[in-house]
């Protein structure tokens, strides 16, 4: 491929471990090992990857200052970026600390910050996978419009159907066998789900600004639920309330017998929660310790997860030394290895190619059939369609059951 500027963004095709990340980092003049830096490379390029939180500077106390830190005032298309913050519903978020934003909001902020730097080359490694369809379209308008006048852009994304056919594509192939999710992995859970009723659940981070505004819903085990909603709608907030990280301002969580459950008194007692950013839940120095393994894996529940998620060869590696695609799998497997009645997976497909996503979908369907309660948060309609799931939409602080056509009609960014 030529290193000259491209008239349109170039989309790199290829499965996991095909060298896309190394190619993108080399394109912007960075070494092949990921270090989580949003910075000018040797060739005047900027690089942003899926773990968006790691690409926030940590020097700015608000999103607006983050943009200014990356050169917004000198950016030749500053007005375009400011207009996009309105389209993306980011304007009201820019007065907040970047680390308090949702994963999708952080992804948008890091891409806009990279654009504000006016790099000669821009590489986006899977970061757009976290965005709703509407938000992704807005970002592509920037990448293929004002930014394309000064910058060559290359992207890698595991959901190729997200992108219009007008993008030029270049295919990469893996050099050999790589660890993969196995579609025949059995659900090794030792417990089944419990019927739970959410009654009037309300939560607000700041007074007068309710993220969850009176949620009433009944969760039935033995099913997969797909939780939809715009970036920043409160999907992760609801997950943190259910697993006990956050305490609701009001409302109750009730069992089928009417018993009141208070998750904040026993976090992760009923719900295990896999974060959108896996790095937030990796604590140990070896993968085996993250999974709670003692000695070598034996024929047991956790062994099925180790085998099914293709982790046998990395058990003695430091989790944070692994590439993002494997860090995501380790965090998922560690969450599932808790064997709680309910499991919430926040954007589980990030970094995973289509083959691995199909294997994960088969595993989740099998888990639900065995009686587990599964909630999946995903912006990938393609992946959602593989789950035989019930669709629920969080909108305006309320939760409602919907059909996929209603999701398609949802216009809010």
Query: What is the per-residue pLDDT across 89-102, written as a single tens digit (0 to 9) for each?
Result: 888 889 999 998 98
Worst-scoring range by mean pLDDT, 21-35, 305-319, 363-377, 387-401? 21-35
- Is the pLDDT assigned to residue 301 strictly greater than 80? no
The mean pLDDT of 72-81, rounded to a whole number, is 93
**Domains of the chain: residue spans and CATH:** 10-171 (3.40.50.300), 196-409 (3.40.50.300)
Measured CA distances, 370 to 303, 336, 375 (Å): 18, 14, 15
What is the per-residue pLDDT for 316?
92
Q: What is the mean pLDDT of residues 220-233?
A: 91
Strand partners, 273: 344
pLDDT at residue 176, rounded to an integer? 56
Model pLDDT, residue 331: 95
- Whether the pLDDT of residue 41 is over 90: the answer is no
Q: What pLDDT score does 132 carry?
A: 87
What per-residue confidence (pLDDT) applies to 294?
Answer: 56
pLDDT score, position 91 = 86
Mean pLDDT confidence for 106-128: 93
> Which pLDDT belongs to residue 94?
92
Predicted confidence at residue 175, as pLDDT, reads: 59
pLDDT in tens, 307-352: 889 998 899 999 999 989 999 999 999 999 888 999 999 999 999 9
Q: Give the helix/strand (H/E) hosting 25.
A: helix 20-27
Residue 66 confidence (pLDDT) above 50? yes
Where residue 44 falls among pLDDT bands split at 50, 70, 90? confident
* Dihedral sign, Cα of residue 224, residue 229, residue 231, residue 235: negative
Region 129-135: mean pLDDT is 88
Strand order from edge to edge, sheet including 250-255: 209-219, 196-206, 250-255, 260-261
Q: Can you give the pLDDT at residue 6?
A: 47
Judged against a pLDDT cut of 60, whether residue 397 lies above it is answered with yes
Instruction: Return the pLDDT at 303.
Output: 84
DSSP state of 213: E
* pLDDT in the model for residue 190: 67
Tokens 């995973």 correspond to: 352
Q: What is the pLDDT of residue 36?
A: 45
Whether residue 232 contacts residue 96, with contact meaning beta carbons closer than 8 Å, is answered with no
Residues 6+ apart with CB under 8 A from 174: 14, 15, 16, 17, 18, 19
CB 135 within 8 A of CB 104: yes
Task: Report the chain's mean pLDDT, rounded to a whole number.
Answer: 85
pLDDT at 30: 86
Whether the pLDDT of residue 299 is over 70: the answer is no
% of residues, the chain, pLDDT over 70: 87
Summarised one tens digit per residue, pLDDT across range 160-204 is: 666 666 567 777 766 555 678 888 888 877 666 789 999 999 998
- Residue 412 or residue 114, greater confidence: 114
pLDDT at residue number 122: 94
Write down the pLDDT at residue 409: 47
């Amino acid at each position: 491929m030529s290193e000259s500027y491209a008239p349109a963004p170039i989309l790199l095709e290829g499965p996991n471990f095909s060298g896309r990340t190394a190619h993108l980092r080399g394109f912007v003049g960075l070494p092949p090992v990921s270090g989580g830096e949003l910075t000018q490379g040797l060739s005047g390029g900027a690089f942003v990857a899926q773990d968006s939180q790691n690409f926030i500077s940590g020097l700015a106390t608000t999103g607006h200052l983050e943009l200014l830190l990356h050169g917004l005032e000198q950016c030749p298309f500053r007005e375009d970026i400011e207009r996009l913050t309105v389209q993306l519903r980011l304007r009201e978020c820019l007065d907040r600390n970047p680390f308090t934003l949702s994963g999708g909001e952080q992804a948008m902020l890091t891409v806009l910050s990279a654009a504000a730097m006016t790099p000669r080359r821009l590489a986006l490694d899977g970061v757009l996978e976290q965005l709703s369809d509407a938000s992704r379209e807005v970002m592509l308008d920037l990448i293929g419009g004002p930014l394309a006048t000064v910058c060559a852009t290359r992207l890698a994304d595991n959901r190729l159907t997200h992108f219009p056919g007008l993008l030029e594509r270049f295919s990469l192939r893996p050099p050999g066998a790589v660890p993969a999710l196995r579609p025949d992995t059995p659900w090794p859970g030792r417990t089944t789900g419990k019927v739970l009723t959410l009654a009037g659940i309300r939560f607000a981070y700041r007074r007068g600004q309710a993220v969850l505004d009176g949620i009433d819903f009944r969760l039935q085990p033995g099913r997969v639920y797909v939780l939809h909603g715009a970036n920043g709608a409160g999907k992760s907030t609801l997950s943190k309330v259910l697993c006990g990280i956050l305490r609701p301002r009001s409302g109750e969580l009730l069992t089928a017998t009417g018993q009141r459950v208070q998750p904040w008194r026993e976090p992760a007692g009923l719900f295990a929660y896999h974060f959108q950013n896996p790095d937030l839940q990796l604590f140990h120095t070896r993968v085996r310790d993250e999974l709670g393994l003692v000695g070598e894996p034996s024929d047991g529940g956790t062994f099925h997860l180790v085998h099914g998620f293709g982790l046998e060869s990395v058990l003695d590696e430091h989790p944070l030394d692994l590439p993002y695609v494997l860090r995501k799998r380790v965090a998922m497997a560690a969450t599932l290895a808790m064997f709680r009645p309910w499991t919430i997976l926040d954007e589980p497909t990030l970094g995973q190619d289509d083959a691995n996503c199909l294997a994960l979908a088969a595993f989740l369907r099998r888990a639900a059939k065995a009686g587990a309660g599964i909630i999946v948060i995903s912006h990938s309609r393609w992946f959602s369609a593989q789950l035989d799931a019930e669709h629920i939409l969080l909108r305006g602080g309320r939760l409602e059951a919907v059909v996929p056509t209603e999701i398609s009609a949802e216009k809010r960014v």
